Structure 1
Amino acid sequence: MVLPLLKLGTLALKTLSKPVAARLKKQAAYAPRFREFIVAIAQANHRITTRMQRRIYSHATDAAIRPLDEEKAVQAAVDLMGELFVFTVAGAVLIFEVQRSSRSEAKKEEARRKDLEAMKQRNEELATQVELLRHKLEELEQLAKRQGLSGIFKLKPANMEGEKLAKAA
């Protein structure tokens, strides 16, 4: 269930990033300093990616790299910023989900620990009760050995009364 929601969220973020990219494009047209900044970012990105591609394909890396024209640079920078926005938000969502899951697991672990502690406490109480019952049983066994079984159950007086009744009759 989490995976479809994650995919849906990513799709929504990509969809939302398009208006952000369009807004960046408009800002680049109105603010010359911002335009210079994003063109510099796009040119740097172009140089880095071109060098990486040349290394991957074993081409000469010392050849001059032609800069992008200004409109392509603005478009590339806006696309790059839009993708960075999407990845940043997706990363934040991922971090939030991991932290939420971690807190949930911590709560579950705490509940398990409390249950285990309660079971240990109950086990100790039962062990104490068993020990008390064992001592009482030992006392009863000692009394039984000393007095005999009839002494514990007070059968002698009852039998004596029965004998008195039999003698009187």
Structure 2
Amino acid sequence: MQRRIYGHATDVAIRPLNEEKAVQAAADLLGELFVFSVAGAAIIFEVQRSSRSEARKEEQRKQELEAMKQKDEDVAREVELIKQKIEELEQLARGRGLADLFNSRHAHGAEGVKAKPS
């Protein structure tokens, strides 16, 4: 059939292989099948191992990203809290007046100096 496909003469007599050559050809075929099977199995194993490793790395990246997002949210909450405290202090300072605030500090500082024995 192969000879017909390639356009070779089909009336050529093909001699059968002797038993020794047939056994050798079968042994070669089985050996090559074994080698290719082992190589294919090794490739499949390596691809699966690599994909599992990548999946673990991806999961770790997701966890790290989630931790960073949580930390960012915590920092944002702290910033908002600090802004509120600053705003409260500014309102208190406006209500009392800055001069009054400084005077009370100087008065407390002067009392501390007077209380010291020489």
**What residue in structure 2 maps to residue 70 of structure 1?**
19
2:38 corresponds to which of 89, 93, 114: 89
Higher RCO (C-alpha 8 Å, min separation 6)? 1
Measured after TM superposition, the shift of residue 69 of structure 1 is 3.1
**What residue in structure 2 maps to residue 145 of structure 1?**
94
| Structure 2 unaligned spans of 5+ | 112-118
Say whether the 8 Å CA contact 1:54–1:60 is kept in structure 2: yes
Is 2:84 aligned against 1:135? yes
Deviations 1:121-150 (A, max 9, x none): 000000000011111111111111111125
**What residue in structure 2 maps to residue 155 of structure 1?**
104
* Runs (4+) off by over 4 Å: 61-65, 150-154
Higher helix share: 1
Cα 1:102–1:154 change in 2 (3 A) is farther
Cα distance in structure 2, aligned partners of 1:137 and 1:61? 101
- Please give the TM-score of this superposition, normalised by the length of structure 2: 0.74
Measured after TM superposition, the shift of residue 158 of structure 1 is 2.1
Say whether the 8 Å CA contact 2:4–2:10 is kept in structure 1: no
C-alpha RMSD of the superposition: 3.1
1:80 corresponds to which of 23, 29, 35: 29
- Please give the TM-score of this superposition, normalised by the length of structure 1: 0.54
Identical aligned residues as a percent: 57
Instruction: State the aligned residue count.
Output: 110
Is 2:59 aligned against 1:116? no
Measured after TM superposition, the shift of residue 151 of structure 1 is 4.8
Cα 1:65–1:113 change in 2 (3 A) is farther
Is 2:48 aligned against 1:99? yes
**What residue in structure 2 maps to residue 60 of structure 1?**
8
